[in-house]
Amino acid sequence: MPRLCKPAVSAPEYVITMEETLEFAERVHGGKPQLPLALRLIRNTGVQKRHIVQPIEKTLQHPGLTERNRIYEVESKKRTPQVIEEALKNADMAARDIDAIIYVSCTGFLMPSLTAWLINKMGFRSDTRQIPIAQLGCAAGGAAVNRAHDFCVAHPGSNVLIVSCELCSLCYQPDADDIGSLLSDGLFGDAVAAAVVRGTGGVGIELERNASYLIPNTEDWISYDVRDTGFHFQLDRRVPGTMEPLAPVLRELAKDHSWDAGSLDFYIVHAGGPRILDDLAKFLEVDRRVFRHSWSTLNEYGNIASAVVLEAARRLFEENALAPGATGMIAGFGPGITAEMALGTWAEDTPTELGNAA
């Protein structure tokens, strides 16, 4: 079965703390009646710091969509190769071993996709399949894992590279002062992540089953309003309550696999915000500490959109606490409202198995 190998993740060098976020919010939006509520919501996120691709002084400016998209192109090309090289090394793979590249991002636009540039610049084969995913937002990390799984099942022995590049700070809109925009200004961070799903062998999460689910009639709860000034993020106040209808879907997925969603060994869950994690723990009837990797990602990086599941998975690998056969779940949530879910088992090749494969 396909295996998700250890991800590689990199965050930009510029850091903004919670205290700095609150200070600039008061400075830029001072006097607005909704500001006190927004500041309280930002404090409640638990985000201690975030990484951004430019110094905060430049981030607070808006040079226009053309310039921001130019920065996205420059920075994505600058930052993805090193992360990809690390992910390939983690999977004991070379660029020529990759059969498809899934590129996910919702914070900039390139055509052709960055996949074409990567193939030309990093030694991937010219027949490498390109699968860009641009409009699933935070759910795209889970979707990428699932589509990689599907590809490997459809093409046995294939290997898929997942790349996530989320430069959320390039979507900051200085003039947007609604509660959703102000909250997002204190929640989202920038990061680049990559991981390989091997068709066979390796060490990691053996992907066994995946599913997608759309909560009916919620497509306007998380969205972009695309204007001359770029992407304006819109967040409905009902979004934090979406775990109540989604938890039964996760339970049913596990039940169909003869597993109990409340009794698994590991959970890799999108850290959309503290209530998402707290509610999911409540409705799955698990201790909130089972989401410790998601909590740590949220605290140290903020919501890094599609890269969250890969960063939380990286922390799981670093913990080095799972025995072969340990069962777990991966779940990403985003616009739609969409859930992308997967079940997998921790697997390691033994020296004997490696010898037999040779």
Residues tagged active-site: 138
According to DSSP, the residues that pair with 291 across neighbouring strands are none
Q: How far apart are alpha carbons 136 and 5 in whole angstroms?
A: 23
- CA 270/CA 265 separation, integer angstroms: 17
From residue 3, give the alpha-carbon distance in Å to each of 37, 40, 204, 316. 44, 41, 6, 14
How far is it, in rounded angstroms, from Cα 167 to Cα 185?
A: 13
Backbone angles phi, psi at 4, to 5 degrees: -80, 115
Residue position matching structure tokens 């989401």: 291
For the record, the structure tokens of 304 come out as 């890094």
3-state secondary structure of 325: coil
Task: Tell me the angle at which helices 292-301 and 308-319 cross, rounded to the nearest 10 degrees.
Answer: 120
Q: Are residues 20 and 50 in contact, defined by beta-carbon separation less than 8 angstroms?
A: no
Are 10 and 76 in contact by the 8 Å Cβ rule? The answer is: no
Pick from 107, 41, 54, 120: nearest CA to 81: 120
Tokens of 29: 């939006």
Alpha helix ranges (H) inside 110-217: 114-122, 140-154, 179-185
Strand, coil or helix: 11: coil
List the structure tokens of 145. 């894992």
Whether residue 167 contacts residue 68, with contact meaning beta carbons closer than 8 Å, is answered with no
